[in-house]
Amino acid sequence: MSIFERIEAFGFRALGLLGLVICAQNLGAAPASLSQSLVKAEAAYRDFPASMTAYNAAVRELCAAMDIQKAPQFASNLRKLGVSCDCPKVRLPLRHIQIAPSSTANGTKAGVPVVLGYETKEAGLYPPERLFVDATAVYNHESGKARFSLICNGNEVAISGHAYPLAANHNAAGDHLKFRAKRFAKSGFSAMIRPSLALRKPQIYLLDPYDPNKIPLLMVHGLQSTPVEIRGGGISAIH
């Protein structure tokens, strides 16, 4: 029986007792705060779209929990509570998720814009500062089962059989990279006049996850610029 079926049986007022029961039945189960956020998300999901503001607030809590617990542990905790976790298929370790400012007013679009940070120490074609990807976090159901999803390159999400526009921030990943590599971003002019003293040797960077189904497009920055400036302006070096 999933957590939501239990809650329906005993009512929302039994939430505190339910958290104790879960911990007693399964040592090492997900923290009570995570179960409470899931309860809020499920209640808002069932009353969608009237509850869009409450829905986005609950999804935001789940994003914060994922950042604190780290992706693998967060996904494991969700499974213990009967909820699956759907992350983008990127062959790099997901190190953190950070909530990004939304370009739309709260309550007008579904989901929470986030930035996903992937470790790149063992992947030389990506920037050493990490690979940053824009995504939108949502909570929905698939085949009757609850699911927390991180959606990249999407414009809509299906909730209760209807499509709704996704909240998004397509500049957040570029801003993160620019901040993490701010010294490198400012080195364009000095590298032009003194190439031997450049902070990094010339090379090609993948600034989006590699996709074998896309045609590579090489973007070359100007004499006084850097690859960071290209990404910061919303253009990926290779698609």
- Residue-wise pLDDT for 96-147, tens only, equals 899 998 765 556 899 999 999 999 999 888 988 899 999 999 999 988 899 9
For residue 205, is pLDDT > 90? no
Phi, psi of 158 (to 5 degrees): -90, 120
Instruction: Report d(CA 131, CA 174) in Å as an integer.
Output: 10
pLDDT tens sequence across 152-182: 988 999 888 899 999 999 889 988 888 877 7
Q: What is the mean predicted confidence (pLDDT) over 213-224?
A: 74
The answer to whether residues 65 and 74 touch, using CB atoms and an 8 Å cutoff, is yes
Residue keyed to tokens 């189960």 = 29
pTM: 0.75
- Alpha helices by DSSP H, listed for the chain, are 3-10, 15-25, 32-46, 52-69, 71-80, 172-180, 182-185, 188-193, 227-232
165 token code pair: 């526009």
Task: Give dist(CA 171, CA 68) in Å, integer.
Answer: 23
Q: What is the mean pLDDT of the chain?
A: 78
DSSP type of residue 237: S
- Residues 15-49: tens digit of each pLDDT: 333 333 333 333 344 556 899 999 999 999 999 99
With a cut of 90, say whether residue 58 has pLDDT above it.
yes
What is the per-residue pLDDT for 76?
94
Identity of the amino acid at 140: N
- pLDDT value of position 78: 95
What percentage of the chain has pLDDT greater than the value 70? 69
Amino acid in the structure at residue 15: L
User: By CB neighbour count within 10 A (0-12 exposed, 13-18 middle, 19+ buried), where does 155 fall?
Assistant: exposed
3-state percent helix, strand, coil for the chain, nearest multiple of 5: 40, 20, 40
CB atoms within 10 A of CB 183: 9
Distance, C-alpha 152 to centroid of its chain: 8
Out of 3-17, 82-96, 152-166, 197-211, least confident range? 3-17
pLDDT at 83 over 80: yes
